[in-house]
Amino acid sequence: MTVTDLVSYEDALATYDPVMGLEVHVELGTNTKMFCGCSTALGADANSQTCPTCLGLPGSLPVVNATGVESAVKIGLALNCSIAEWCRFARKNYFYPDMPKNFQTSQYDEPIAFDGYLDVQLEDGEIFRVHIERAHMEEDTGKSTHIGGATGRIHGARHSLLDYNRAGIPLIEIVTKPIEGAGERAPEVAKAYVAELRELIKALDVSEARMEQGQMRCDVNLSLRPKGTEKFGTRSETKNVNSLRSVERAARFEIQRHAAVLSSGGTIIQETRHFHEEDGSTTSGRIKEEAEDYRYFPEPDLVPVAPSREWVEELRAALPELPRVRRNRLREEWGISAHDMQSILNAGAVDLITATVDAGADSASARKWWMGELARRANEDGIELAALPITPEQVARVAALVADGSLNDKLARQTIEGVLAGEGDPDTVVEKRGLKVVSDEGALGTAVDEAIAANAAIADKIRGGKVAAAGALVGAVMKATRGQADAARVRELILEKLGVEG
Amino acid sequence: MADLIKLTAAEIAAKIAAGEVTAVEVTEAHLARIEAVDEKVHAFLHVDREGALAQARAVDEKKARGEKLGPLAGVPLALKDIFTTEGIPTTVGSKILEGWLPPYDATLTKKLKAADVVILGKTNMDEFAMGSSTENSAYGPTGNPWDLTKIPGGSGGGSSAALASYEAPLAIGTDTGGSIRQPASVTGTVGVKPTYGGVSRYGMVAFSSSLDQGGPCARTVLDAALLHEVIAGHDPLDSTSIDAPVPPVVEAARNGSVEGMRVGVVKQFRGEGYQAGVIQRFDESVALLKELGAEIVELDCPSFDLALSAYYLIAPSECSSNLARFDAMRYGLRVGDDGSKSAEDVTALTREAGFGPEVKRRIMLGTYALSSGYYDAYYGSAQKVRTLITRDFEKAFEQVDVIVSPTTPTTAFPIGERADDPMAMYLADLCTIPTNLAGNAAMSLPCGLAPEDGMPVGLQIIAPAMADDRLYKVGAAVEAAFTAAWGHPLLEEAPAL
Amino acid sequence: MPGITREEVAHLARLARLELKAEELDHFAGQLDDIIGAVARVSEVADQDVPPTSHPLPLTNVMRPDEVRPSLTPEQALSGAPAQEQQRFKVPQILGEE
Ligand SMILES: [Mg+2]
Ligand SMILES: [Zn+2]
């Protein structure tokens, strides 16, 4: 692999104008596969969720999953698309061992949803409209494990093992129109679009859209054209970029790489590229020497889908509040900036905070815990916030204990740590670890007296009016009570005993 | 028990129900017949002796328990080797599936079993149902029981030969461009292609999905109707299956008549390439229909002239995609896997070794027709032709109740004669193909022997979609009149094997 | 219509994953050329304003409820596999994509 000399991002954008196309595949959360009744549950034994149809056995036939179609229409409506009055499935023919029939049942020139848009909000609150070309139904492939090469990589592998449990799981492919005019914000737009789309999918309850589990995968197509020109440049297609951060990094890297190639008089080859999490780079994949000939034709084993207008309107009427609208409502309710809201969205914390507020916490403390301590922990563990072993109810309980003075911040953090460690719910952790704030006035009074006696010089300064010095005595008392005292109350007691006004 | 094999399915079922004979006796008689003649005929690729006897015993036990038996209970049947049978070899006449034991039964197989029909085994066929002579079977050709040096038709030559050689009174075929009717025609038997969607395709190995249709084969029109009723009906596992009651085919077969019917004769179904004896017997059939009270109407269906061309684009296109799954990864043959070759190479080597020339030819033809740049001219145009043919049929059926034609332009030709001349072979389906393209129903039944070679000629009856019962009503009337005129069923004129 | 060349046949064979022998390429080139020459007649209707028929029956919206049905057992699923390992289909090395 040759190292690509990149042009600085600023220099790239000074000369070129990026055009992006984003293709997102979403695995639907249906009970069964798109064309057969096999379960889609995760974690099953290899090849235990297969049947003649999803194995492509001779003689087998597909039948469309009604919920798959309904989900596709919902997604289309939420993306402001037109819904086809009549459309067909098509076969996309190419050979690949993880695809049992050696064609993918997909849609070609008659997608179920087309011509829509999604408004995405950037960090500074600006709204950028991403136009949607189409959303269509198709099916996932099986999973291959490569044996004999370096840790599961395809290159150098001697053979591969195939598990078809995932083959046939419903996919919705959502393709944008070329995204123009984003300029230097193109990577940010890409990330915000995928984030918004993920929220939308979750709000529609058609998929959990967990990128780290491959339930949502993004291909980033990018090209540059000299500023002020119209014609698109040659694009690269960076496949399977599987986190929001990676989407942004991939777009950024490709802008810099394309600029480097173009500036040095080179030409961009149309090719697929692979994104590398480790360093945010992309490397060359398969070169498309000739336009791939998928020999699409209408799937003769499936009849056309013709969603009635009545049904489409029913689905439209039942759409949930769209995430951006909801977020703006929440942002006002919570009284925070657009930037803070964007951070919350990017952290995948909107629903968690809402649920914590619903469980009784005030929004400020709900935000504080999820975006502070818990976000830090999730980041450390490399998992999504929602995957932490703590519930919004438990966070709300911690917030309540802080509010009523039973815990201070430090103890609350320890309580959360205990919950995350599996020691039980917050009350159990407080009980077992003995984390209650010392609120026994007698015990506290004694501790204060002892601290005053041991720090006579400081006590004198305070008596002399240097109230700020009280902090040192508070520290001493906290130390003596192993942090289990309410610091505010301790300060009050000290000032009281020394006869000064706080 | 020798005469058991000459009985019709209806007669066998009646005798079993009456306790005059057991299902096991009937099955044994047919197994013995297979043993005696199939070495010569080669109708079967696999005989399931044990399975057949077990099914027969179950019927006899049912009878002994006093349970009511279905109309075909205990009747033996020869199943085309294109339907999956759980645990029983299913090869589709191809090396690429040699030894494959499907883990599931086709819907049709299930229906046969549920009706207590005794499945004797799997019959020979052109590989993947591509052919009109059964010479394309990877397992060797089948002989025509009328003259073993001649073809029994195809692709379902095994099924038609099994009937004509009295190895089975019932058989199943599949018809993509004539593969039930043309074999029936050249062996002097009866074959029906039901309306597309009438019989489930689930478990029927696909050749051309939008054309394929399974159907009944028998020696009499009534037997075909009885079998039709068993195998037809809606199947939720087949999206293209018709969700409506099966037309009353048995009732129609029991009440044959053409009195007052309008019968169409299409001008495009004669001319160059038609054997004189075939035309002669066909013209006699038309005269007979008139005599029986039908009104004959001349029809012009100009788009039929394009049917063969459209067919040889659509069927290969769909087959190129349907047969892509035979890639040596999950089942079937694997060639060249020596540890150094890629999956891609192993797939290509396996397909090269596992498919015969006709299959390769059609896969490449279809790959070509679907290629970008050619799609509109070929596949797209072929689908337009399909619309035009459907319209011609619609117009025709405004004027007539059924259409008749020769089933195939010639009688059985000698094995080997057209083996490496695909275009000549394709002409065998000239009259049968329009029906597949439009999706409506058709039957072939014997209408005599061609004077020049003494081989059977078939009369094709075509009905509108969903009006399969008309085939049987007309077919039964014609069959009765001819049998009366000949003094016996035509098949009795076949030489002894 | 253009004649089908040997190279075109080779290209089709690659697309269709058929490792054709040299003599087959020649043989098929001639035959495919004949067949295509004959069936190309259909393009007579290419310009006609006629809707194409992809399905012989005018059915629409055939769907099944999203309810789990029994799958095959892994043993059944793998019963025809040319090779297997760890309850998976064992296949030769896969080229290309990573
Ligand atoms: Mg896709
Ligand atoms: Zn399945």
| Cα A145 to Cα C84: distance, rounded to the nearest angstrom | 13
**Is A350 found in the same domain as A305?**
no
Final residue before a domain boundary, out of A246, A281, A311:
A311
Provide the chain B residues 13-42 that lie in CB contact (below 8 A) with chain C: none
Per DSSP (E only), the strands in A154-309 are 159-163, 170-176, 216-226, 236-241, 271-276, 281-287, 297-298
- Does residue A473 lie in a domain region? yes
ipTM: 0.97
**Is A325 found in the same domain as A296?**
no
- Does residue C94 lie in a domain region? no
- Model confidence at C27: pLDDT above 60: yes
**pLDDT value at residue A6:** 85
- Does residue A4 lie in a domain region? no
**Is A227 found in the same domain as A128?**
yes
- Does residue C54 lie in a domain region? no
CATH of the domain at A484: 1.10.10
What is the span of the domain harbouring residue A273?
9-311
**pLDDT value at residue A379:** 87
pTM of the model: 0.90
- Does residue C95 lie in a domain region? no
Residues less than 5 Å from ion ligand 1, measured at CB: A 173
Looking at the annotation, which residues of B are catalytic?
80, 155, 179
- Does residue C70 lie in a domain region? no
Q: What are the residue boundaries of the structural domains of chain B, listed by start?
A: 9-300+391-493, 304-385
**Is A450 found in the same domain as A414?**
no
A chain contacts of residue B324, beta-carbon cutoff 8 Å: 93, 95, 101-103
The answer to whether the bond into B155 is cis (omega within 30° of 0) is: yes
Number of domains in chain A: 3
- Does residue A374 lie in a domain region? yes
Number of domains in chain C: 1
- Does residue C22 lie in a domain region? yes
- Model confidence at B40: pLDDT above 80: yes
- Does residue A316 lie in a domain region? no
| Cα A12 to Cα A225: distance, rounded to the nearest angstrom | 11
Could you give the count of Cα atoms lying within 13 Å of A209 in the half-sphere of its Cβ? 22
**Given 3-state DSSP classes, what are the helix, strand and coil percentages for chain A, each rounded to the nearest 5?**
40, 20, 40
Convert the pLDDT of each residue in B107-139 to its tens digit. Answer: 999 999 999 999 999 999 999 999 999 999 999
Closest Cα to residue B424, out of A485, C31, A141?
C31
Convert the pLDDT of each residue in B279-329 to its tens digit. Answer: 999 999 999 999 999 999 999 999 999 999 999 999 999 999 999 999 999
- Does residue A302 lie in a domain region? yes
Three-state DSSP class for residue C1: coil
- Does residue A76 lie in a domain region? yes
SS (H, E, C) chain B: CHHHHHCCHHHHHHHHHHCCCCHHHHHHHHHHHHHHHHHHHCCEEEECHHHHHHHHHHHHHHHHCCCCCCCCCCCEEEEECCECECCECCCCCCHHHCCCCCCCCCHHHHHHHHCCCEEEEEECCCHHHCCCCCCCCCCCCCCECCECCECCCCCCHHHHHHHHCCCCCEEEEECCCCCCHHHHHHHCCEEEECCCCCECCCCECCCCCCCCCEEEEECCHHHHHHHHHHHECCCCCCCCCCCCCCCCHHHHHHCCCCCCCEEEEECCCCCCCCCHHHHHHHHHHHHHHHHCCCEEEEECCHHHHHHHHHHHHHHHHHHHHHHHHCCCCCCCCCCCCCCCCEHHHHHHHHHHHHCCHHHHHHHHHHHHHHCCCCCHHHHHHHHHHHHHHHHHHHHHHHHCCEEEEECCCCCCCECCCCCCCHHHHHHHHCCCHHHHHHCCEEEEEEEEECCCCCCEEEEEEEECCCCHHHHHHHHHHHHHHHHHHHCCCHHHHCCCC
Please give the DSSP secondary-structure letter assigned to residue C50. -
**Is A179 found in the same domain as A58?**
yes
CA of A53 to the centre of ligand 2 (A): 5
Suggest the residue from C88, C90, C91, C95 to mutate for an interface test with chain A (most A CBs closer than 10 A): C88
- Residue C2 has phi, psi (to 5 degrees) of -70, 145
**pLDDT value at residue A4:** 61
Domain B9-300+391-493 sits in CATH 3.90.1300.10: yes
B chain contacts of residue A301, beta-carbon cutoff 8 Å: 206, 209, 239-240
Suggest the residue from A47, A166, A238 to mutate for an interface test with chain C (most C CBs closer than 10 A): A47
Query: For residue A431, what are its two tokens?
Result: 């009980």
Name the minimum distance, in Å, from the CA of A211 to any CA of chain B: 30
Name the minimum distance, in Å, from the CA of B386 to any CA of chain C: 6
What does the pLDDT profile of chain A (502 residues) look like in tens digits? Answer: 345 678 899 999 999 999 999 999 999 999 999 999 999 999 999 999 999 999 999 999 999 999 999 999 999 999 999 999 999 999 999 999 999 999 999 999 999 999 999 999 887 878 999 999 999 999 999 999 998 876 656 667 789 999 999 999 999 999 999 999 999 999 999 999 999 999 999 999 999 999 988 999 999 999 999 999 999 999 999 998 989 999 999 999 999 999 999 999 999 998 899 999 889 999 988 665 556 799 999 999 999 999 999 999 999 999 999 888 898 899 999 999 888 888 898 788 998 999 999 999 999 999 999 999 999 999 888 888 988 999 999 999 999 999 888 888 888 999 999 999 999 999 999 988 888 777 677 778 888 888 888 888 888 888 888 888 888 888 888 888 887 888 888 888 888 888 887 6
What is the span of the domain harbouring residue C40?
1-45
With tokens 């194995």, the residue in question is A55
**Is A325 found in the same domain as A303?**
no
- Does residue C80 lie in a domain region? no
| Cα B310 to Cα A499: distance, rounded to the nearest angstrom | 105
- Does residue A2 lie in a domain region? no
| Cα A120 to Cα A191: distance, rounded to the nearest angstrom | 10
Residues 6+ apart with CB under 8 A from A400: A360, A361
- Residue B238 has phi, psi (to 5 degrees) of -120, 110
* Candidates B201, B320, B339; nearest CB to A61: B201
The Cα diameter of chain B in Å comes to 73
Any A CB within 8 A of B109 CB: no
Any A CB within 8 A of C53 CB: no
**Is A343 found in the same domain as A275?**
no
- Does residue A347 lie in a domain region? yes
CATH of the domain at C18: 1.10.20.60
| Cα B26 to Cα B32: distance, rounded to the nearest angstrom | 10
Neighbours of A103 (CB within 10 A): 25
Counts for chain C of helices (H) and strands (E), in that order? 3, 3
**Is A414 found in the same domain as A365?**
yes
Say if residues B145 and B34 touch (Cβ distance below 8 Å): no
Is C60 in Cβ contact with A303 (below 8 Å)? yes
pLDDT band, very low/low/confident/very high, at C98 (cuts 50, 70, 90): very low
- Model confidence at B253: pLDDT above 90: yes
